[in-house]
Structure 1
Amino acid sequence: MSKPILLLVDGSSYLYRAYHAMPDLRGPAGVPTGAVHGMVAMMKRLREQVAAEHAVCVFDAKGPTFRDEWYPEYKAQRAPMPDALREQIAPIHEVVKLLGWPILEVPGIEADDAIGTLARVAVESGHAVVVSTGDKDMAQLVNADVTLINTMSNETLDVAGVTAKFGVPPDRIIDYLTLMGDTVDNVPGVEKVGPKTAAKWIAEYGSLDGVIAQADKVKGVAGENLRKALDWLPMGRKLVTIRLDCDLTGHVPAWPQLEALALQAADPVALQDFYTRYGFKTWLKELAGGAAKVAAPAEVGSTTSASGDLFAGASDAVVPVLAVQDRHYDTILDWPSFDAWLARLQAAPLVSLDTETNSLDPLQARIVGISFSVKAGEAAYIPLCHEGPDAPEQLPLDAVLAKLKPWLEDAAAAKLGQNLKYDTHVFANHGIALRGVVHDTMLESYVLEAHKTHGLGALGERYLGRAGVSYEDLCGKGVHQIPFAQVDVAKAAEYSSEDSDMCLQVHEALWPQIEADAGLLRVYRDIEMPTSALLARIERTGVLIEAPRLQAQSHELGQRLLTLEQEAYVIAGQPFNMGSPKQIGEILFNKLGLPIVKKTATGAPSTDEEVLDKLALDYPLPAKILEFRGLAKLKSTYTDKLPLMINAQTGRVHTNYAQAVAVTGRLSSNEPNLQNIPIRTAEGRRVREAFVAPLGHLIVSADYSQIELRIMAHISEDPGLLRAFGEGQDVHRATASEVFNTPLNEVTTEQRRYAKTINFGLIYGMGAFGLAQSLGIEQKAARDYIDLYFNRFAGVKCYMDSTRESAKAKGYVETVFGRRLWLPEINSGNGPRRTGAERQAINAPMQGTAADLIKLAMIAVQAALDAQGKRSRIVMQVHDELVFEVPQDELDWIKSEVPRLMAGVAQLKVPLLAEVGVGSNWDEAH
């Protein structure tokens, strides 16, 4: 007969995980509910998964514990509980009880110690124990009768599992933790000793005591650090050891009996009241017998939220829908299985797919395996190139791809994935043009809540209550990481199938919410999805770069850096390391006695760029250091690196455009970053000279003129700005005319400069202090200029005030096209953070709308190029600029049509204006 199970839940771990995993949900009264929602979802799911007769959810009690008496610095560095989480503690306790769980808090001890004691007593009374936690410290409790489960990662750890994961058995976890220390709890270990070294020492010397006894034999820096820590280690061991002997009398009725911990039935009447109070509509339906896996679109956002969160009122739309045992994943190793699954793919209305490859470089990656999912909980993996003595015989790659190609290239066969731009490249590497991509969960998440993370693991945690197995868990990390082709096929099949399955389920949670909001739907369907497909084309095209020109520039920069270095030594009166902030600080402040502008967090004088900029106004050495830093970065980042990044097959550089990074909707470029090439210096501009057109072609640059000011005029509807743009005036001169009450034709260059600074400063939420610094004037004078500006342009002031208030009420602002730009700190109790969020609230609609416009322009121009069979190609997108490679015979068409197309992508209250430049290289075209 199997033993009865006691299920112990680390409630404190659960509530933090729930808080960080869930969106900033708000209930009908505007109170935060994200952690409550996550807690309910996890507790409900856990009860379904573990058939326990007894259970308890254990929370940390308020106040110090015995460890604080032993070591006053214990947990001293831990940040205080966020206010939004603290507000949810009471309702979490309430709803856990209503769900039938006993709860336990014991003053003076931590939840870990209560769990350890309960586990010991339960085992002694004939129970098996399951501990649900994400805390690695709990691994010390594992034995033949105690198992850990992590519901977020679906990981189960028994004795063998602990040993495999940590490299030491459970009875050596305390020794392992002592050597490493715990930064979260502020428990020092041996300096620079991590998991591998700790496990290695324990394996070599048997135990912590053995390591201590043989400390003099451990060589190198690690040995020195070990010997320094010997006096501390006994206390460290004491702190990380979970107590098993706590007296729970008065906290557990009839202790040490466990009958009071019997799981109870949920209280449906009280739960109905609770779910109503906190706006959990789907769970209300569940109580009434009408449970829905995903909230209906009409429910989304149906309850007003103080934060304006999209999930308010239907936040329980993200309830985990499948337990682990409900999944069925196939591994396809023969043609009948393949043919059966191909038929399912061809018949399915939507298929989630994922490729496993041998490289993260999208232009180099080759397929190792492919997975598909057509229904939640059902998926299949086709291993194609797995290696090793235990690898089974697999279907031939070329034959499988040949059979899949018609379906993969069928635009009518709807496909879904996570970051399918990467998979598009992978299939292209095999001669397959992936078509029919209608959904991408990364972009769905980005459109819904750009300020969150969008990896599939994070999405699984937020919307399904599980993260799945990570790539590192499967393949290892660092130098010990194995190629995916060497992963055991059974494990690879589970991993890849789960990815496709989770992707489909995440889509089922996200898509109804996007579909229900016209603005979000437009951003997703008409902007982000077409942009993703176009970016794949641009990345694959790449841009031609002249390596010899860059190499010559690198040599010149190297000579200039040597000269600057010698000039700096002369001023300093001695040589020093130009790259060392510490040595620079000693020279500037100790030897030369320059004024200290600000200090670092450690109290040392700062030598950051802001400080050096200020000092450079009066002293020569900071100016030399700044120039040296700028040129050194230019050399290392661009002139040295770009020639090495030229693709040997194409002769071009291929950047990657990250679409789901910037919260404003702007693209970011990496490997290499082509958007941050400095252009304010002659040396920086020369880098652009190396971006060239092939023979018979020219480089064309097209960008929007004063786009953010035009957007400001449109959004604010200020009559003065509308008139200036409508009449085609120089808007800075027109602004100066208004602010200084001067006829337009009498505005001076200085007045125009001031007006330009004010115009752009206000767009970025600049106040009097920032304006004073930018103009080099007194703060009062800057305030006077701002007051003059707002007197003349009252519409701008009205826009700013109303936007701040709206942002505080909703938690976000919007672009002209409906993109939501979230501001998590807009109601922060931290003054500087709140002020920063208010500045973002002013600027984000301009930046976000500009980002939307350039994406729409890119889409419109490419559509026209394709429709007319043009050979011109977009090779880069940089902020508000598109860069083209144009055959000479298409130049006239490009010069006339591109500005027209860019100006016509939206009808604002002021005209959009796009300007074109032409040259043999990017710098000439600018």
Structure 2
Amino acid sequence: MNEKKILLLIDGSSYLYRAYHAMPDLRADPNDPNSAPTGAIRGMINMLEKLRREVNPDYVACVFDAKGPTFRDELYADYKAHRPPMPESLAAQIEPIHEVVRLLGWPVLEVPGVEADDVIGTLAVTGARQGLAVIVSSGDKDLAQLVNDDITIIDTMSGKTRDRAGVEAEFGVPPERMLDFQALVGDAIDNVPGVEKVGPKTAAKWLQAYGSLDGVIAHADEIKGVVGENLRRALSWLPQGRELLRIRTDCDLSPWIPGFPALEALRPGEADRAGLRQFYERYGFRSLARALDAGQAPPPAATARNGDLFADADRPASLQVQHRAGREDEIILDWDRLDRWLERLRSAPLAALDTETTSLDEMQARIVGISFCVEPEAAAYIPLAHEGPDAPQQLPLAQVLDRLRPWLEDPRAPKLGQHVKYDRHVFANHGIEVRGYAHDTMLQSYVLEVHRPHNLGSLAERHLGLKSISYEEVAGKGARQIPFAQVAVDRAAAYSCEDSALCLMVHRVLAPRLEAEPKLADIYALEMATSEVLFRMERNGVLIDAQVLARLSHELGERLHAIEQEAYALAGQPFNLGSPKQLGEIFFDKLGLPSVKKTATGARSTDEEVLEKLAEDYPLPAKVLEWRSLSKLKGTYTDKLAQMADPRTGRVHTHYAQAVAVTGRLSSNDPNLQNIPVRTPEGRRIREAFIAPPGRRIASADYSQIELRIMAHLSGDEALLAAFRQGLDVHRATAAEVFGVAPDQVTPEQRRYAKVINFGLIYGMSSYGLAKNLGIDNSAAKAWIDRYFQRYPGVKRYMDETRAQAKAQGYVETVFGRRLYLPEINSPNGPRRGAAERAAINAPMQGTAADLIKKAMVAVQQALDARARGTLMIMQVHDELVFELPEDEVDWLRSEIPRLMAGVAELRVPLVAEIGVGANWEEAH
């Protein structure tokens, strides 16, 4: 039986990007950095020659994406919407790549309006029908949906083969289900959403259980928990997502392939040796030209562990240890190498810096190793605390840090990192204050694309098309994970150097985008300055009085015991107040209380909303609510805060997460200092435990009614502006307008209603929400909202215009230009669209408030530094800054801090900051 002939289909678009990012910045003239870039060209030549040697096809096509939109852009306007433009240095290499592929004798295909994947899919199926063995050369997992007994995918860069067994082993589903798998998972690079929080494992599990995407959709109601809810929200989208991701196999290629569906036009031709000779000379490929003159095959690519696009003759001689495609990672084990790298760092216009440590706790982490990168192909790792029988002799950590200290602490030496605040703490733990951090890729991403993930792996995949080494790949996972100090040095170097290199590469993509958007560039500058202040605040920490907490914890314990006894009496038996199952049995089976709603698993819910509803009519749910509130206070704060304090100083050091909230607000964790309840006596007593040491005081500075002031500024409503400009009680003024009485005739109840309306409208509250909040009927609530908008027409106009703007552009902005994206603003799902519309109203106010407090933090810290004050900023809680200060600086702080906070921006209404001082946080508040 004759062997099948081979059709080789090369995914040129995939490979040219990968070659570009894997190769160093090679130039036609190595001595002229402004000469033509050639790295991607050289990588493509190496890859093609490797394919020629290993496959030797009978038919071949190298397929590239053509310029311009495709049918998918018509199906989905946001298709590939977030992809950055092609780097100029890669764009300059596209035509030369096409030219050299043709000179090598291989047909090139670009089909307008059709993506390369669809051309490949059509040719693959056509070839298989004609009895050919089809090999697709690509690193793109999307093409796995083409695999069958006649179609195989190979990846020359990773050495991976995807046949039927390979696809199932890698993804957990057979090739026939890959399209359904992709629809569930989505494609972040092409901006095709899947089901939120559903990754490869969940998608494979569902498809194994239900057979297909249609089966999953049909059984969506059976899938429990948050992912089940997310699936049900995505049901209307999934068929469209599947169509977007489906590779077409029926494209009419006859205008571009003579005789199609016959494939004779795709037979490889002879290489044009004269043309190649000129091409190699033009682009400085000396080794290729020499091999051509000698009548030899081009020098093969080196066979590194992860594949290598360099040819040995073109390899820069200074690079030492190969770890990843196209990048040489140098492991520094002697002083000479360290000194040489220090010279490179000192002369580099920007150097990426990364630490490997013993802990994620930034206050406790110690250095295991440090990596640097000055160009994507030039990185180094200094192992400093690796352990184990195979660990090499390493340079002493303390002496290395002393040698690095002048560069690390030099503010004129520009540095780059990913989440630099963490690395600052790590170095500070060793007595080094790093200066000169010019950029942070996490914050660049946060400002440009706040609604997307900001970890380095996601950034590399999204912006570079590269999958990075995960921590689990080098250290293991779960119970088998080893400390980083026990990771083999070569693997640690590959991991850490890749992080530094990817950080630099991501920066080179994101920085131009920020530079092109002046407002966002200003927000990014604010975030960088805020990061510096947060580092210092976290370092300062706040002193905790453990005895106050212990007393309060004891009192809460006695209260909880008493409440339990009262609950038992009401229930007629003892039971576990913390058990939803037992609560359900007592409430609904024994006492016959009405069931308000069900959980995702179908059980009768006893969540807080249900308890609050039941507590209106029944005493036992009210007792359970009280028990839950006090139990949470005791477990979260009074029992744990003292344990979280540094035993040497008695101070608690919270972590402020800067790149989490889409509005720009900071969040606090380990411990969370922003969620201590202030409306209950117990919550306020917890604040009494935040104290100043002897001879010092606690001060609290808080913006007054900041979001209402921002609403006045944004809406331009004259009545609202006048109330603030005249220094009126704005809630009293609102009550007077809405209820049609003189301000001095407003009752406390009317003022309370007006306050609820004022704040409710900021959060997009509906008449139903207002009615529920105030305990009135819907018609009365609607009448009050209508009356409010009659008296404040500017507010209504602002809300209508903001909704329309959000629908048109997909985002809203703060006063200062921070973008707040609203992916669901045009959703066909009514509740999701409604939530997005409410967010569109609130986000500019909450986001502007976040911008203002960050501006205040930066301005205050600069003033403290300039005046060499002993005052420390120790906490930020929403619109409040908390200080610890010497007693002799109280008068200065009372006058200067409100002035500084009020002066960070000019709005149409005055900013007002109020300040209090005391022995503890509660006294100062």
Q: Normalising by structure 1, what TM-score?
A: 0.72
1:496 partner letter: S
Change (3 A) 1:485 1:766: same
Q: Does 1:386 align with 2:386?
A: yes
- Residue 908 (structure 1) aligns with: 907
* Residue 623 of structure 1: how far off its partner (Å): 0.6
- Residue 210 (structure 1) aligns with: none
- Residue 612 (structure 2) aligns with: 613
Secondary structure of the corresponding residue to residue 103 of structure 1: helix
- Residue 195 (structure 1) aligns with: none
- Residue 629 (structure 1) aligns with: 628
The runs of 5 or more residues in structure 1 that have no matched partner are: 19-41, 58-80, 171-176, 191-247, 266-288, 291-321
Q: Does 1:184 align with 2:183?
A: no
- Residue 309 (structure 1) aligns with: none
CA–CA separation in structure 2 for the residues paired with 1:631 and 1:263? 78
- Residue 577 (structure 1) aligns with: 576
Secondary structure of the corresponding residue to residue 901 of structure 1: helix
Deviations 1:754-777 (A, max 9, x none): 111110000111111111111111
Change (3 A) 1:413 1:5: farther
* Residue 599 of structure 1: how far off its partner (Å): 2.1
Secondary structure of the corresponding residue to residue 691 of structure 2: coil
2:505 partner letter: Q
- Structure 1 residues 477-876: aligned runs within 5 Å: 477-525=477-525, 527-876=526-875
Q: Tell me if the contact between 2:356 and 2:370 (Cα under 8 Å) persists in the aligned partners.
A: yes
Change (3 A) 1:348 1:97: same
CA–CA separation in structure 1 for the residues paired with 2:112 and 2:690? 62
Q: Tell me if the contact between 1:354 and 1:371 (Cα under 8 Å) persists in the aligned partners.
A: yes
* Residue 83 of structure 1: how far off its partner (Å): 7.7
- Residue 23 (structure 1) aligns with: none
* Residue 539 of structure 1: how far off its partner (Å): 0.4
Change (3 A) 1:391 1:701: same
Change (3 A) 1:49 1:672: farther
- Residue 215 (structure 2) aligns with: none
Change (3 A) 1:187 1:810: closer
1:488 partner letter: A
Deviations 1:609-660 (A, max 9, x none): 1111111111111111111111111111111111111112332111100000
Q: Tell me if the contact between 2:119 and 2:251 (Cα under 8 Å) persists in the aligned partners.
A: no
* Residue 746 of structure 1: how far off its partner (Å): 0.9
Q: Does 1:354 align with 2:371?
A: no
CA–CA separation in structure 2 for the residues paired with 1:904 and 1:385? 48
Change (3 A) 1:455 1:747: same
CA–CA separation in structure 1 for the residues paired with 2:156 and 2:714? 49
CA-based RMSD of the aligned residues comes to: 4.3
2:121 partner letter: L
CA–CA separation in structure 1 for the residues paired with 2:500 and 2:760? 46
- Residue 26 (structure 2) aligns with: none
Secondary structure of the corresponding residue to residue 426 of structure 2: helix
Deviations 1:679-703 (A, max 9, x none): 2211121111111110111111110
* Residue 707 of structure 1: how far off its partner (Å): 0.5
- Residue 373 (structure 1) aligns with: 373
CA–CA separation in structure 2 for the residues paired with 1:250 and 1:792? 61
Deviates more, 1:97-106 or 1:893-902: 97-106
Secondary structure of the corresponding residue to residue 104 of structure 1: helix
CA–CA separation in structure 2 for the residues paired with 1:744 and 1:150? 78
Q: Tell me if the contact between 1:739 and 1:789 (Cα under 8 Å) persists in the aligned partners.
A: yes
* Residue 338 of structure 1: how far off its partner (Å): 1.6
Deviations 1:31-61 (A, max 9, x none): xxxxxxxxxxx9x99998575455899xxxx
* Residue 598 of structure 1: how far off its partner (Å): 2.0
CA–CA separation in structure 1 for the residues paired with 2:394 and 2:778? 73
Deviations 1:429-488 (A, max 9, x none): 111110011110100111111111100001111110013101112111122111111111
* Residue 329 of structure 1: how far off its partner (Å): 2.3
- Residue 216 (structure 1) aligns with: none
CA–CA separation in structure 2 for the residues paired with 1:48 and 1:622? 72
Change (3 A) 1:444 1:252: closer
Secondary structure of the corresponding residue to residue 784 of structure 2: helix
* Residue 148 of structure 1: how far off its partner (Å): 6.2
- Residue 208 (structure 1) aligns with: none
1:755 partner letter: A
CA–CA separation in structure 2 for the residues paired with 1:380 and 1:346? 14
- Structure 1 residues 24-423: aligned runs within 5 Å: 52=51, 54=60, 84=76, 99=116, 102-104=119-121, 132=139, 134=141, 149=155, 156=160, 183-186=202-205, 325-423=325-423
CA–CA separation in structure 2 for the residues paired with 1:46 and 1:605? 61
Q: Tell me if the contact between 2:441 and 2:506 (Cα under 8 Å) persists in the aligned partners.
A: yes
Deviations 1:811-858 (A, max 9, x none): 111111111111111111111111111101111111011111111111
Secondary structure of the corresponding residue to residue 535 of structure 2: helix
CA–CA separation in structure 2 for the residues paired with 1:655 and 1:445? 24
CA–CA separation in structure 2 for the residues paired with 1:263 and 1:596? 73
Secondary structure of the corresponding residue to residue 328 of structure 1: strand
* Residue 141 of structure 1: how far off its partner (Å): 10
1:618 partner letter: D
The runs of 5 or more residues in structure 2 that have no matched partner are: 19-39, 52-56, 64-72, 84-108, 175-180, 182-199, 210-248, 255-260, 270-281, 284-308, 311-323
CA–CA separation in structure 2 for the residues paired with 1:672 and 1:82? 49
Change (3 A) 1:93 1:692: farther
CA–CA separation in structure 1 for the residues paired with 2:682 and 2:384? 49
- Residue 271 (structure 1) aligns with: none
CA–CA separation in structure 1 for the residues paired with 2:201 and 2:12? 18
Q: Tell me if the contact between 2:144 and 2:153 (Cα under 8 Å) persists in the aligned partners.
A: no
Q: Normalising by structure 2, what TM-score?
A: 0.72
* Residue 147 of structure 1: how far off its partner (Å): 7.9
Change (3 A) 1:45 1:795: farther
Q: Tell me if the contact between 1:96 and 1:103 (Cα under 8 Å) persists in the aligned partners.
A: no
CA–CA separation in structure 2 for the residues paired with 1:158 and 1:400? 46
Q: Tell me if the contact between 2:137 and 2:156 (Cα under 8 Å) persists in the aligned partners.
A: no
Secondary structure of the corresponding residue to residue 422 of structure 1: helix
Deviations 1:9-52 (A, max 9, x none): 899xx9xxx9xxxxxxxxxxxxxxxxxxxxxxx9x999985754
CA–CA separation in structure 2 for the residues paired with 1:388 and 1:136? 43
* Residue 672 of structure 1: how far off its partner (Å): 0.7
Change (3 A) 1:569 1:335: same
Q: Percent identity?
A: 58
* Residue 780 of structure 1: how far off its partner (Å): 0.7
1:467 partner letter: K
